[in-house]
């Protein structure tokens, strides 16, 4: 597929130019009000922005963000009223990704054998190896994991207990620490979230100007669907 081939080439170029800057992901979409906290600085996130280790992303009401890790392993969609901190670092030739979802909903599709992919919430750690998932967390309802393909593991941070969640299953960690696994039923997922998961975006081009340590500038164009 043209888009996939082009993105692989972009990843190689992107890493070679920005390696010293520790960029770990690229913003594919940003709609509405999505804020970035990087250290002591706050700004709005825009389509095409680079993301770095320890960046915190907060999507406001009726807002949405999607980004892709530079190793090409996974696309992440952050839905309205959500807060996510990106934790990613290179281990050998792979990028280990251990992000923290403080609140809200996160969808991701992960390619197998591309490094660690974990989503931590205040109560759980979800480990993924090649699958499609939705993670939801709120103080009132606790954490819920939906697995649409493949398998994922959910761990209770309080007692270390784990459960495997297969395709078309969900697991709910209740506020009192119980892991409940069952089949996904119609109505389990909010209609608005379901629509954003399924939306097909039209093709777009993103132009990004990069600069290496010697000051050399390079403009790359990313086409994605």
More confident residue, 33 or 209: 33
Give residue 18's pLDDT: 43
SS (H, E, C) 133-179: EEEEEECCCEEEEEEEECCEEEEECCCCCEEEECCCEEEEECCCCCE
- Answer yes or no: are the C-beta atoms of 158 and 188 closer than 8 Å: no
For the segment 174-205, what is each residue's pLDDT rounded down to a tens digit?
777 889 999 999 999 999 999 888 874 434 45
Token reading at 72: 């090409």
Mean pLDDT estimate for the chain:
84
For the segment 144-161, what is each residue's pLDDT rounded down to a tens digit?
999 999 999 999 999 999
Structural domains in the chain, sorted by start: 27-223 (2.60.120.1440)
For the segment 56-74, what is each residue's pLDDT rounded down to a tens digit?
999 999 999 999 998 888 8
pLDDT > 70 in the chain, percent: 79
Q: Residue 187 contacts by C-beta under 8 Å, 6 or more apart in sequence?
A: none
Token reading at 208: 């990004």
């Amino acid at each position: 597929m043209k888009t996939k081939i082009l993105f692989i080439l972009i990843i190689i170029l992107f890493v070679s130019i920005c390696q010293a800057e520790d960029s770990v992901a690229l913003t594919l979409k940003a709609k509405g009000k999505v804020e970035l906290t990087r250290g002591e600085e706050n700004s709005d996130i825009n389509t095409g922005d680079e993301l770095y280790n320890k960046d915190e992303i907060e999507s406001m009401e009726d807002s949405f963000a999607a980004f892709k890790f530079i190793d090409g392993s996974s696309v992440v969609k952050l839905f309205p009223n959500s807060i996510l901190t990106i934790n990613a670092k290179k281990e050998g030739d792979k990028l280990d990704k251990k992000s923290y979802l403080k609140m809200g909903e996160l969808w991701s599709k992960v390619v197998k054998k591309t490094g660690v992919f974990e989503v931590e919430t205040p109560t759980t750690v979800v480990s993924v190896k090649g699958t499609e998932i939705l993670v939801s967390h709120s103080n009132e309802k606790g954490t819920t994991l939906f697995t649409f393909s493949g398998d994922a593991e959910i761990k209770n941070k309080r007692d270390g207990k784990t459960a495997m969640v297969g395709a078309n299953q969900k697991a709910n960690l209740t506020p009192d620490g119980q892991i409940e696994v069952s089949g996904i039923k119609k109505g389990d997922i909010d209609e608005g979230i379901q629509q954003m998961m399924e939306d097909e975006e039209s093709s777009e081009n993103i132009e990004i100007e990069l600069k290496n340590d010697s000051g050399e500038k390079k403009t790359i164009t990313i086409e994605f669907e």
